Structure 1
Amino acid sequence: MGQKIHPLGFRLGVSQAHASHWFAKGKQYSQLVVEDHFLRESIYTKFPNAGIDSIHIERQVDKIRIHICSARPRTLLGTSRQGVQSLREELTQKLKNYRQQQLLTSRESKAARGEFDLTNPLARISIHLTKLSSPDSSAAFLAEFIVEQLEKRIPFRRALKQAVQRAQRVSVKGIKVQVAGRLNGAEIARSEWVLKGQVPLHTLRAKMEYDSRSARTIYGLLGIKVWIFKGFDKI
């Protein structure tokens, strides 16, 4: 079971915390979940090389707080340090347009109008940045590193080895890295992986980090998966 299911969803409520913190009623719940996904994807798309480790979203009646943990916060701040303000304004406008589109395309338009009343002011968005203290122990950062190496035509074995070595320098308990696709331009797609230490996917109290990315190469897409084991949680 632990080999097939998503390692983070498998541990939610046990050793893994939720990335969204809010309460909702009825049909509004599913719409807010999709909204959170839309906000995260907008940030990831705008800053693909910022080394973003996690995005946590908190909601109140008239506020949306977005907490971004990044290995390269200067990429989000910008040279003039107005990046956060411009990002906040951009997300506010995108969210407004998204709600209008959902209002027009919703099959249950009456219910949608009741839940997302466009005559009311949109919730204020605030953004809080945190620098990732140890990037090499982050699955998201290492997955992004492997993508950059593969897109520069670095041999995949060297890229995997470098990622594992970076993780071992910060003393993680275990790491597993997998890459799949037409490796080194081979005619037949295959998958290869490297495992160092222990990665107990079946153990719920094991604190795991996981991330998956896609690298665009001249031979097609390569799928990258990274698992990092950081020790056991005291339950």
Structure 2
Amino acid sequence: MGQKINPLGFRLGTTQNHHSFWFAQPKNYSEGLQEDKKIRNCIKNYIQKNRKKGSNRKMESDSSSEVITHIEIQKEIDTIHVIIHIGFPNLLKKKGAIEELEKDLQKEVNSVNQRLNIAIEKVKEPYRQPNILAEYIAFQLKNRVSF
């Protein structure tokens, strides 16, 4: 019987890029992973929280308005760069939204001597991303849109 491996992990680096770019000593590696997890969860929670506030509008484009395709984290000695790849960056274009997200992340990470830079990149072809497409289909099913 053959060995079972994860196909995404097997092809990582050839068909996909890594989502975290940093190095750490082996004894500090788990702390770096936990910090990455905190950053990703904080960003997702912030988007969900603010998405529910603005969900009073009934627009079809609102269905997949803030679906994050992936988050890249690049760590240097004194800086953490966070690049959020998002389908339709409507919510984060509002005035002060990125600054508020930076404050939330700074509280969550608790890094005094590290600066935090957040960049938002719009996905070129959003409806080719599986999680955006799944969100769009779920929205259509929830609103009973006929096929």
Whether the TM-score (by the shorter chain) exceeds 0.5 is yes
Residue in structure 1 matched with residue 97 of structure 2 by the alignment: 83
Residue in structure 1 matched with residue 51 of structure 2 by the alignment: none
- Is 1:32 the counterpart of 2:22? The answer is no
Distance 1:135 1:126 in 2: 24
Determine which of 128, 132, 135 is the counterpart of 1:137: 128
Deviation readout 1:73-110 (Å, 9 max, x if unpaired): 121222xx2111111111101112xxxxxxxxxxxxxx
Determine which of 71, 84, 87 is the counterpart of 1:71: 87
Residue in structure 2 matched with residue 111 of structure 1 by the alignment: none
Q: How far 1:42 moved relative to its partner?
A: 1.4
Paired residue type of 1:86: E
Secondary structure of 1:47 counterpart: helix
Determine which of 116, 119, 127 is the counterpart of 1:128: 119
Higher alpha-carbon Rg = 1
Q: Structure 2: give runs of 5+ residues left out of the alignment.
A: 49-64
Residue in structure 1 matched with residue 144 of structure 2 by the alignment: 154
Residue in structure 2 matched with residue 41 of structure 1 by the alignment: 41
Distance 1:53 1:77 in 2: 17
Residue in structure 1 matched with residue 57 of structure 2 by the alignment: none
Distance 1:64 1:135 in 2: 26
The 1:5/1:83 distance shift into structure 2, 3 A limit, reads farther
Distance 1:74 1:40 in 2: 19
Q: How far 1:145 moved relative to its partner?
A: 1.8
Q: How far 1:148 moved relative to its partner?
A: 2.8
Paired residue type of 2:134: A
Paired residue type of 2:118: I
- The 5 Å alignment of 1:1-235 reads 6-48=6-48, 50-78=66-94, 81-96=95-110, 121-150=112-141, 152=142, 154=144
Distance 2:80 2:73 in 1: 7
Distance 1:36 1:147 in 2: 28
4+ runs deviating over 3 angstroms = 4-7
User: Number of paired residues?
Assistant: 128
The 1:82/1:60 distance shift into structure 2, 3 A limit, reads same
Q: What is the Cα-based RMSD across aligned positions, in Å? A: 2.2
Q: Structure 1: give runs of 5+ residues left out of the alignment.
A: 97-117, 163-235
Secondary structure of 2:135 counterpart: helix
Give the TM-score of the pair, scaled to structure 2.
0.76
Q: How far 1:136 moved relative to its partner?
A: 0.7
Distance 2:45 2:10 in 1: 26
Identity level (%): 34
